[in-house]
Amino acid sequence: MKVTIEELEQSKDDLLEFDFEDTPEGIDFAEPAKAHFVVKRLGGGFINVKGYVDAKINAVCDNCLKNFVYEAHADVDETYAERTLYEEYKEETEIKDNFFAIDLNGAGEIDLTDLMYQSLILSVPNKLVCDINCIGDEEINKYIKTELQDPRLEVFKTIKTEKEN
């Protein structure tokens, strides 16, 4: 789904609201992801997109290798610059701390499906587990070395301290 700058200019209060479902490529969805976005012109050549994305993603547990459905939630708050950031803006614009704007480079639209994809990818943790208490599968765990023992260090086990005497 895409929203054009022209649509935004023609809207009441320079504001558009979108509720939609989609399945961006690159993610294995259990069901279509749901998104709610509010697109608003901020003035000074900036556009803000706020909202959230909820999705159920097919995943594999990193501990036990079982399939499960991961419920992802991503809050979205992105700002876009209508004109290229390298040009001088006609109006004076104050840029505050922690202000980041994505440069549209003169493109006349914002791809909300791509924003949905990026938000979901960034919200998924590096290690996915089916349950917080998942300790893995016995068949898998027997191949994982849990203790690293160097035989050269065995000599230190025989050292007696003064308290032991």
**Could you give the count of Cα atoms lying within 13 Å of 41 in the half-sphere of its Cβ?**
19
Position 130 in a domain: yes
Question: What would the two tokens of residue 126 be?
Answer: 């590096």
DSSP 154: G
Q: Which domain holds residue 103?
A: 2-135
Position 155 in a domain: no
Question: What would the two tokens of residue 143 be?
Answer: 């191949």
Position 111 in a domain: yes
- Tens-binned pLDDT, residue by residue, of the chain (165 aa): 888 878 878 888 888 899 999 888 888 999 999 999 999 988 777 888 999 999 999 999 988 889 999 999 999 998 887 765 555 555 555 556 556 677 676 678 888 898 899 999 999 999 889 888 887 777 666 666 666 677 888 888 888 877 765
DSSP 114: H
Place of tokens 């032991």: 164
What is the tally of structural domains in the chain?
1
Position 154 in a domain: no
Q: pTM of the predicted model, to two decimals?
A: 0.69
